Amino acid sequence: MSTDTPRTDTDESTERAGQPLVRVSGLEKYFWENDSIVDRLLGDEPVAVRAVDDVSFDIHEGETLGLVGESGCGKSTTGETLLGLQEPTDGRVEFDGENVYKLSGQPLTEFRQRAQVVFQDPFSSLDPRMTIGEVVQQPLDIHDVDDPAARPGRVRELLERVGLSVDQLDRYPHEFSGGQRQRIAIARALALEPEFIVLDEPTSALDVSVQAQVLNLLADLQEEFDLTYLLISHNLSVIRHICDRVAVMYLGEIVEIGPADVLFEEPKHPYTEALLESVPRASTEERDRDRETLSGDVPSPRNPPSGCRFRTRCPKVIPPDDLGIDQADYRAIMNVRERIEGRDLSLESIDEFDPEDGEVQARDVPGFVATVKTRLLERELPPRHDEILEDALAELADADWDGAASRLREAYESPCERNRPTLGDDDHPVACHLFAEESNVDGSVETHRHS
């Protein structure tokens, strides 16, 4: 006879104590281009758009985690993939200890009840053919919650709780303002009494005064119903107002995560510093402050940079140790190198024409080099580096793009592009080589620290 003691609900809750409600591990979501049957017949290789690439974070019960970053960095895709609204390419999401992507049948239905979403644009997320009473009641009907006769009463309670009048039950979404429509979306999300809600830019389409009202409502609802939030936003003021912890996202990756008060006061990653620097200040004392804006464009997720993905725009990118170059000079040279590697320069526009016959003259290499330097550089370089750059541009004069890029890469390859920085797992981790020990190409080890 077995002597095993049956497990109880108390035993399971004890095991889960201290564990996060939501655990995201190595989440990836790629969208594929050139992947149709026609493309395959033509021999075209599929191209991955890396919207979410190896993202990991935890969300504990009752807290609000903010996910912040520039538009297009993968925030919304992360939230949708976390809930299973998008099929993941790889990775794992656990909700209350259960792998979300392995759920089916009744467990999946229960997860759908316990985890809800509020989308960015309430006008497009609400069915225009349904009254708001029908919109809020629909989840109750689908999941067969409560007695059918009791559902209208539940709908009225929800609408009143989010600040709407029950007299508006029979009106349609287009008859409401943006703020009111977002309240309707919140009421719909609360209908099934969830534990976890993904808030995808819930205030971005609203006026500032209405934003504050909706944020205060969300805070009150969280306290009243013991809710856990993932708040996705590009608005740092919103993030600071409501979040306990903040995860900063860049080009599909989490680059920094930590307590909100610590991250806002002591940011580590140069990208986080740049985001905070870009926030408008209300104080007149700071009206003349210098703003350090980021240079360059966000790289394409189709072909992200090697190593640290922020290195192409980073104002603190690490030069080779033996180079002895000023950061501003190094950044300028790297910008030229990236233009050459991307072939983002019209050589024909630099050529000169013979005024008599209108034909292109043979390229004058010194003149070509001087013209390119004037176009691409906004500063004078020290003689040593000016000579290296001119040698590379001389190769470009012969249309040898690869040779010019190779010359600059050989002289100026940064530790930031050799290895991909890891986030770590301490209380305030950051994925940046300024805070980590990384191996060089030759196998030696350097320690870089933020200064």
pLDDT digits (tens, 9 = 90+) for 357-416: 444 455 678 888 888 888 888 888 999 999 999 999 998 888 899 999 999 999 999 989
> Is 60 exceeded by the pLDDT of residue 193?
yes
pLDDT tens for each residue of 13-40: 444 557 899 999 999 999 987 766 766 6
* Cα separation, 298 vs 72, whole angstroms: 9
What's the pLDDT at 290? 55
Closest C-alpha among 62, 52, 124 to residue 83: 52
For residue 364, give both structure tokens: 């004058």
What residue segments make up the domains of the chain, in order of their start?
A: 19-250, 327-413
The pLDDT of 422-445, averaged and rounded, is 70
The pLDDT of 311-318, averaged and rounded, is 88
Q: Output the average pLDDT for the chain.
A: 85
Closest C-alpha among 69, 71, 70, 91 to residue 81: 91
> Is 70 exceeded by the pLDDT of residue 206?
yes
Among left, alpha and beta (phi > 0; psi -120 to 50; other), residue 443 is left
For residue 231, give both structure tokens: 């708040």
Pairing of strands 437-439, 22-33: unpaired
**Cβ-based neighbour number of residue 256 at 10 Å:** 26
pLDDT tens for each residue of 212-243: 899 999 999 999 999 999 999 988 888 988 99
Query: Buried b / exposed e across 380-390, counting CB within 10 Å, b at 16+?
Result: ebeeebeebbb
pLDDT band for 280, please (50, 70, 90 cuts).
Answer: low
pLDDT band for 352, please (50, 70, 90 cuts).
Answer: low
Among left, alpha and beta (phi > 0; psi -120 to 50; other), residue 25 is beta
Q: Which CATH superfamily is domain 19-250 in?
A: P-loop containing nucleotide triphosphate hydrolases (3.40.50.300)
pLDDT band for 439, please (50, 70, 90 cuts).
Answer: very low
> Is 60 exceeded by the pLDDT of residue 449?
no
Question: What's the gap between Cα 96 and its chain centre?
Answer: 24
pLDDT tens for each residue of 413-430: 998 998 899 988 888 999
What's the pLDDT at 451? 36
**Cβ-based neighbour number of residue 302 at 10 Å:** 11
What's the pLDDT at 266? 93
Torsions phi, psi for 68 (to 5 deg): -125, 150
3-class SS at 390? helix
> Is 50 exceeded by the pLDDT of residue 438?
no
* Cα separation, 450 vs 433, whole angstroms: 9
What's the pLDDT at 363? 66
Greater confidence (450 vs 268) lies with 268
Pairing of strands 228-233, 22-33: unpaired
The pLDDT of 95-103, averaged and rounded, is 95
What's the pLDDT at 293? 64
The pLDDT of 188-208, averaged and rounded, is 91
What's the pLDDT at 38? 65
pLDDT band for 441, please (50, 70, 90 cuts).
Answer: very low
Contacts of residue 294, Cβ cutoff 8 Å, sequence gap at least 6: 274, 313, 315
* Cα separation, 147 vs 150, whole angstroms: 5
pLDDT band for 289, please (50, 70, 90 cuts).
Answer: low
pLDDT tens for each residue of 72-86: 899 999 999 999 999
The residues pairing with 245 across neighbouring beta strands, listed in sequence order, are 65, 259
